[in-house]
Structure 1
Amino acid sequence: MYLSAQLQETAKKFADKPAYCFLGQQSTYAELETAIQKFASGLEKMGIKQGDHIALLLGNTPHFVISLYGALRLGVIVIPVNPIYTADEIGYILDNGDVKAVVALDLALPLADKMHTLLPNVEHYIFCETKPDCLVQSELEKLSVYSKMKSFTEVIASGELSFQGPALKEDDVAIILYTSGTTGKPKGAMLTHKNLFSNAKDVGDYLKMNQDDRVVTVLPMFHVFCLTVSLNAPLLNGATLLIAPKFSPKEVFSLIKEHSATVFAGVPTMYNFLYQYPDGDPDDLQSLRLCISGGASLPVALLKNFEKKFNVLISEGYGLSEASPVTCFNPLDRPRKPGSIGTSILRVENKIVDELGQDVPIGGVGELIVRGPNVMKGYYKMPEETQATIRNGWLHTGDMARMDEEGYFYIVDRKKDLIIVGGYNVYPREVEEVIYNHPEVLEVAVVGIPDPNQGETVTAYVVSKNPGLTREQVQEYSREHLAKYKVPTTIEFIDELPKNTTGKILRRALKHQISQKVNN
């Protein structure tokens, strides 16, 4: 089965049920299915065919859902792109990804106009209207890319409900997700129809999603976490998406209360903002049956504080783009373990190995590797990187972890973020967990900096609730809970930690700041 085909079946079963709510408007499953079918047909009439690549330069809107499922129904390979990337970042992905058509909000068209001469392979620009037609038309005619443009509305209007899509194969690539590129240029993870469907189905089953669920879809749709957990899995099970254009604590509280939402999925920084929001009323969240955290490690102190304040449980999981993404979740039918990413989900194997690929004893730290129907086909046009990442059928995640005697996994840290102080291993997350417990600390990130004597030393970047908090106080608190070599030698107080669009803290940006200081 495939995502788009399964959605057809869901739409037949729940035709009159709301598929999504967006800015006060809602659409039924029957209406969504009609739009998807006609969009797929409209793409075909434009000359786009099975195997072509189409980029979605969109935020959280119904346009994304319709474009995604319509393209997949035609057998087109979808490349979601963060719409706030710079022209250079977007240009690289469109060029490297061999994109033939782009779907974007009309607000992004001036950017496309600047780029299109450098992207001769892009033949079509489909724009989604956000302005009055007369204003849009007068502006569009001024663009040099005008001859390649068509509105989203036009594409759907040209489509036919009688459209019959091509035969698909489960190992055909469905989506290419470009990783955030922590080292070098972003790599395009090729996810097949089998990868995406299996993970969406298994996650939906694991989390017991059903037609009565109302899922807050506030994570960015172009990110794999949202794509599977907050979009595909709910739609396959007849749930209703509560689409939020962007994250705002005020709007999230309002959305949950207004629609009696049952599922919320977010990254740790979202939970932190919700916890710190002064007008956050615990009663507003009482309809939630499930809160999900992923994308980065959730500090145990934050988890406990959030649950105590709002009387809801957070189930932490783990995933990565290359695995579609989910590999682990804290089970709902057994005790949840704070600080753990849970156990392997159905049909997915996780294990811990050393540098030689040998199994690490229970409790020992090693690299987390994964295999299952969700593991990517490889990196687009990067065979060497693919071979280095997928070995003997196992995906090497680059994350250091351990497993306890009951099969629960714990992420220790990213392999490349490991700090070595005088020959001793220091895992940034362990230090962060301690400092996070300090009552005056709002956020913290720990990185290593080169040191001629120790190899590296530990630096902590701290966002404080109290302007009077001192470096010495943080260090003294750390000494009470950490071995001497793990205590940060440098404490930097900053107003805000650098984060990407999903809220993940960017340690590489902090390291860049350090290197600039050293070079200057």
Structure 2
Amino acid sequence: MFYDLGVRDFLDRAESVYPDRIAVVDEPDQPAAPWGEVTYRELARRAGAQAANLDALGVPVGGRVAIVSHNSARLLTSFFGVSGWGRVLVPVNFRLAAAEVRYIVEHSGAEVVMIDPELKPLLDTVTAKHVYVLGEHDEQIFGGDGEPRPWAGDESATATLNYTSGTTARPKGVQLTHRNLWLNAAVFGLHTTLNDNDVLLHTLPMFHANGWGMPYAVTGLGGRHIVLRKVDGTEILRRIEEHGVTIMCAAPAVVTAALDGAAKWEGEVPGRDRVRIVVAGAPPPTRTIERVRAELGWEFIQIYGLTETSPLLTVNRFRSEWADLDPHEQAKRLGRAGTPALGVRVSIDTDGEVLVQSNMNLDGYWENPEETARVQEGNWFHTGDGGSFTDGYLTIADRKKDVIITGGENVSSIEVEDALSSHPAVREVAVIGIPDQKWGELVTALVVTDGSPVTAEELITHCRDYLAGYKCPKRVEFLDELPRTATGKIQKFKLRKPFWDGQDRQVN
């Protein structure tokens, strides 16, 4: 016998086994009226109502529904209310500029767009057949008691369409199937030893690779979701103390924020010997890992993955064989990308690129068969990262694709270069990432002008008209010329060299 895997399985189990348990505690400080505490019975009812309302709008199975939102109970519900009955959820990065959001909505063909009230200016530029503001239009989105039309389920159907920056100027839509997401959630939960007593603090934006799958995994096991709208180190510690948080997922910048908050915290830091923090985006410095374990008393778990892989590829968690090592050596070993997760195969090609096979790899890029074929050549997913695989552990040493990871977010160098090149004073530009203690990598522009007077501040301000703030250069340097090959290609490795000298790897 065969039954299709589907993301609604996780909510169905929670509703069946834990109907009266608190599923989610919504963010109390937000522009929309918070939902407060919601049980799994009520979460399932609202998800079903959302599906029924999409039925009434005539959104077909396979239709795209976009949501541009900070972390919220409404967004959490939409992972099930949209995808659970066969539509495709398009979770959009709320930090993007209006032009970027408009492109994603238009490229995905979204019929419905739901927008956070803080982002209402998007209504001036983003259009779709149906546009709603979360909180203001809750009755139309989550209201009513209508029964949604049954959907038989299809594990090979696209469940979410996640847009990610890469080697092109435009973001690519990553098609993740129900099978991809189901297996990622199950394997992630297994490796992080999730159970029904876990309390997840959403320090990771839920739009980011679907919160790495934790919205599904925690729900399926009956855990509790604590919504955090905006990252603040002290507030993270306060929520851990108030709600008994046991697990978080975060980019390195969030780890730094928590350490900064702990330095000002009065009394014992909450969560000692209880919290485990799962970190990805870029490996933090060994010293930061040491501080998490010593100053916070939290377990440090590192993973590696991409939006295209749902995202889990490798896991690095403390193992008993390291017990006799000193804390510095333990932290150093935890700084590697990790061992292949269950069901993942890793290989390094002759050029040093990391290749992976797994059932969590993307189905394809939306309306981009050429790029899909390129990254899936030879039945391996080509990550674009350079690394080594020794004694069962993957170490990422270089980023072969032209992407900067800053604060856990991907930034396409080409996209930033396009924005800068539109300034009349810019003749040539190369954008690189340089090491930064807080953000991992700092977006840095190396500019050759046409001789016109222009300042770094002017160029950064110019970029803000085209790009999200985190993509804009934080540093601009002016050069007389850019190094090029005989064929005219800019030699970025020469531009990076003075910034990365002394580093043992070319990612941070």
C-alpha separation between the residues in 1 aligned to 2:39 and 2:231?
Answer: 24
The answer as to 2:47 corresponding to 1:36 is yes
- Specify the alignment match of 1:3 in structure 2: 7
C-alpha separation between the residues in 1 aligned to 2:195 and 2:276?
Answer: 13
Give the 5 Å matches for 1:443-482.
445=441
Q: Deviations over 1:468-492 (max 9, x none)?
A: xxxxxxxxxxxxxxxxxxxxxxxxx
Gaps of 5+ in 1: 117-121, 131-150, 356-365, 420-427, 452-497
CA contact (8 A) 2:317 2:334 kept: no
Give the 5 Å matches for 1:76-95.
76-95=87-106
For 1:302, give the aligned amino acid: T
Q: Deviations over 1:431-490 (max 9, x none)?
A: 95xxx8xxxx76674799999xxxxxxxxxxxxxxxxxxxxxxxxxxxxxxxxxxxxxxx
C-alpha separation between the residues in 1 aligned to 2:360 and 2:110?
Answer: 24
The answer as to 2:17 corresponding to 1:13 is yes
TM-aligned CA deviation for residue 253 of structure 1: 0.5
TM-aligned CA deviation for residue 408 of structure 1: 1.1
TM-aligned CA deviation for residue 273 of structure 1: 1.8
C-alpha separation between the residues in 2 aligned to 1:208 and 1:164?
Answer: 35
TM-aligned CA deviation for residue 19 of structure 1: 0.8
* CA pair 398-279 structure 1, distance change in 2 beyond 3 A: same
Give the 5 Å matches for 1:191-202.
191-202=176-187
- Specify the alignment match of 1:305 in structure 2: 291
Structure 1 SS opposite 2:78: helix
For 1:2, give the aligned amino acid: G
Give the 5 Å matches for 1:154-169.
154-160=140-146, 162-169=147-154
TM-aligned CA deviation for residue 52 of structure 1: 0.7
* CA pair 198-37 structure 1, distance change in 2 beyond 3 A: same
CA contact (8 A) 1:225 1:295 kept: no
The answer as to 2:347 corresponding to 1:351 is yes
- Specify the alignment match of 2:65 in structure 1: 54
- Specify the alignment match of 2:27 in structure 1: 23
Give the 5 Å matches for 1:306-385.
306-331=292-317, 334=320, 335=322, 337-355=333-351, 366-385=352-371
The answer as to 2:251 corresponding to 1:270 is no
* CA pair 16-313 structure 1, distance change in 2 beyond 3 A: same
Structure 1 SS opposite 2:334: coil
- Specify the alignment match of 2:111 in structure 1: 100
The answer as to 2:124 corresponding to 1:124 is no
CA contact (8 A) 1:178 1:189 kept: yes
Structure 2 SS opposite 1:235: helix
* CA pair 292-227 structure 1, distance change in 2 beyond 3 A: closer
TM-aligned CA deviation for residue 305 of structure 1: 2.1
Structure 1 SS opposite 2:82: helix
Aligned length: 415
Q: Deviations over 1:379-417 (max 9, x none)?
A: 111111111111122110011111222x01111121146
Gaps of 5+ in 2: 29-35, 323-329, 405-431, 448-462, 483-508
- Specify the alignment match of 1:217 in structure 2: 202
- Specify the alignment match of 1:250 in structure 2: 234
- Specify the alignment match of 1:112 in structure 2: 123
The answer as to 2:393 corresponding to 1:408 is yes
TM-aligned CA deviation for residue 287 of structure 1: 5.6
Structure 2 SS opposite 1:295: coil
The answer as to 2:279 corresponding to 1:293 is yes
Give the structure with higher Rg (CA): 1
* CA pair 504-410 structure 1, distance change in 2 beyond 3 A: farther
CA contact (8 A) 2:101 2:126 kept: no
Higher relative contact order (CA 8 A, sep 6+): 2
Q: In the alignment, which of 207, 213, 219 is matched to residue 235 of structure 1?
A: 219
TM-aligned CA deviation for residue 312 of structure 1: 2.0
For 2:355, give the aligned amino acid: I
Structure 1 SS opposite 2:337: coil
TM-score, L = length of structure 2: 0.75
Q: Deviations over 1:86-127 (max 9, x none)?
A: 1210111011111111111234344223433xxxxx211122
The answer as to 2:156 corresponding to 1:171 is yes
CA contact (8 A) 1:262 1:287 kept: no
C-alpha separation between the residues in 1 aligned to 2:444 and 2:99?
Answer: 29
- Specify the alignment match of 2:491 in structure 1: none
- Specify the alignment match of 2:425 in structure 1: none
CA contact (8 A) 1:40 1:159 kept: no
CA contact (8 A) 2:96 2:469 kept: no
The answer as to 2:495 corresponding to 1:509 is no
Structure 2 SS opposite 1:102: strand
